[in-house]
Structure 1
Amino acid sequence: MMADVFVSFGFGTIGIARRGPVTIIRLQRPERLNAYTPEMGEDLVAAFRAMTDDESVAAVVVTGEGKAFCAGADHGCFTEPPGPSGLRIGEEAFVKGFAAELRDHPKLLIAAFNGAAVGIGVSMSLCFDLRLAATDSRLKLNFAEHGIMPGFGATYVLPHLVGLGQAKKLLLCEPLIGAGEALAIGLVDEVCAPADLIERACALGAAAARLRPGAARKIKRALNRSVEEGFAAALQAEAASDLRKEARA
């Protein structure tokens, strides 16, 4: 397969490529292990919003350039003047209030951990639908070490993924976890050889593209609602869905 051609986007902190119905977003600050900045947040918000109504896109895969996915927030954001966006970390839309929009995004969102994922590199992925990890990747939820409350609804989503005890262990005791253990507790959904990671993520995205138009979005919404509002809400969403009516037609 030909190499993906990434086009720099916005402030240049991410690159975007297409494989048929799958968009690949690559965090591209490899000299800083793709550490997060407000500019990266602004770029991610703009990219995700641009794909919301794009019917040619069925899935979005997010990965990192080089040997890391995202090494957490760039420490320079706390000690140096603001970058080109003019924003301090926490003032940008991605951190300030994008989590609900990200979780409800109509496309299938897949995180592909190609190496280290730290802090916000992990918490942002909790709003995605699937998380894949290369065998050599490591995840670290080190918020407590820095006296920071996790964001992106992590205190809600993480216990639902891994259980309350494991969530407390990760956030309060042993924040570093390898790919195999992350798979065992449900923090990631698959572990792949590094060379196969993007291929597998794109294959899952392409599978979503073969579904009946609108079906993936509606089922995803019902699944999310079932977790957020409980069993009764799931029954209500299933009964009310027009997918049942369409199937009978």
Structure 2
Amino acid sequence: MSKSIQVEIQNKVAKIRLNRPEVFNSFNRGMALSLQKELKKCAENKEVRAILLTGNGKAFCAGQDLKEVTDPDLNPGFKAILEEHYNPIIQLIRSIEKPIVAAVNGVAAGAGANIALACDIVVASEHAAFIQAFSKIGLIPDSAGTFFLPRLIGFQKASALAMLGDKVSAEEAEELGMIYKYFSAESFEEESTKLVEKLANMPTRALALTKEALNQSLTNNLEEQLALESKNQIAAASTADYKEGVNAFVEKRKPNFKGE
């Protein structure tokens, strides 16, 4: 049987694929822990400068595998599911100092939707859909859904989607500002790859500092954010990539960034 997480590294990009297509890539304990392991490896691998997260088959991720939680022999309990499975995944996505793109190839429901929305950039196939499915079974949005969704689309829209569990198409998600953009089914894989490879060839130290500043902006006041921008800009200006970018601009040539 294929591993529940597949990883391919090419052109400075790690493509991580959720690989339980027979259950729409829903998470069980094994897949959740494997994804954490692979994300940590990508964080440490100097050859990887950007990460793409997608799913195999028709779905991106249907959230939690309900067969696991309804089987008394397999059910790890909600405390473990949240504190050992999903919360660490979200924390890794936000703390890894590399851009992470979610390429949502199909339905993203429950935790699957919120894991996607925690990524730095979200793109989707025209056939994708996002569903806060929790209320349909008497649960609340987890995996930082109550944190990121209102910040992405506003309190009213987030409240309605969280409570009603409406399906949001890829086109609607782009219009709402929930995702960056969507592509046709035919061009989805090519365009997703092109985007993440573009990030991998950019000055990724500056992107990491940008990511840190965006993370802190969620809780900082204006004075704190200005101070952080100052600190991070000084750090960015000391990188080799900054010097390369300036020299390339002056010399009217394409820069060769190395993430240093």
Smaller-chain TM-score bracket: 0.7 to 0.9
Q: Distance in 2 between matches of 1:19 and 1:37?
A: 28
TM-score by length of 2: 0.84
* Pairing partner for 1:212 from 194, 198, 203: 203
- Structure with bigger helix share is 2
CA distance in 2 between partners of 1:82 and 1:42 (Å)? 18
SS at structure 2 position matched to 1:102: helix
1:55 aligns with 2:46: yes
Task: Could you tell me which runs of 5 or more consecutive residues in structure 1 were left unpaired when the two chains were aligned.
Answer: 1-7
Cα 1:222/1:96, change in 2 over 3 Å? closer
Residue of structure 2 in register with 1:91 after alignment: 80
**% same residue:** 27
- Count of aligned positions: 238
What TM-score results when the alignment is normalised by the length of structure 1? 0.87
The structure with more radius of gyration: 2
Give the match for residue 135 of structure 1.
126
User: Contact 1:38–1:90 at 8 Å: present in 2 too?
Assistant: no
- 1:181 is matched with which residue? 172
Kept in 1, the 8 Å contact 2:98–2:204? The answer is no
| Equivalent-residue separation in structure 1 for 2:225 and 2:113 (angstroms) | 27
Higher deviation after alignment, 239-248 or 98-107: 239-248
1:232–1:146: structure 2 CA closer, same or farther, 3 Å change rule?
Answer: farther
Q: Deviations over 1:36-61 (max 9, x none)?
A: 11111001100001111211111111
1:68 aligns with 2:55: no
Out of 236, 242, 245, which is 1:243 matched to?
A: 236
The one-letter amino acid paired with 2:237 is: R
* Counterpart among 135, 150, 154 of residue 144 in structure 1: 135
* Alignment partner, residue 21 of structure 1: 12
C-alpha separation between the residues in 1 aligned to 2:188 and 2:210? 25
Which residue is 1:164 aligned to?
A: 155
C-alpha separation between the residues in 2 aligned to 1:116 and 1:225? 30
Q: Match of 2:16, as an amino acid?
A: I
Which aligned segments of 4 or more residues in structure 1 are displaced greater than 6 angstroms? none
Secondary structure at the aligned position of 1:150 is classed as coil
Q: Aligned pair 1:154/2:145, yes or no?
A: yes
Unaligned runs of 5+ in 2: 247-260
Aligned partners of 2:172, 2:208: CA distance in 1, in Å? 30
Quickly say closer, same or farther: Cα 1:234–1:187, change in 2 above 3 A: same
Calculate the aligned-residue CA RMSD, in Å: 2.2
- How far apart, in 2, do the equivalents of 1:143 and 1:157 lie? 16
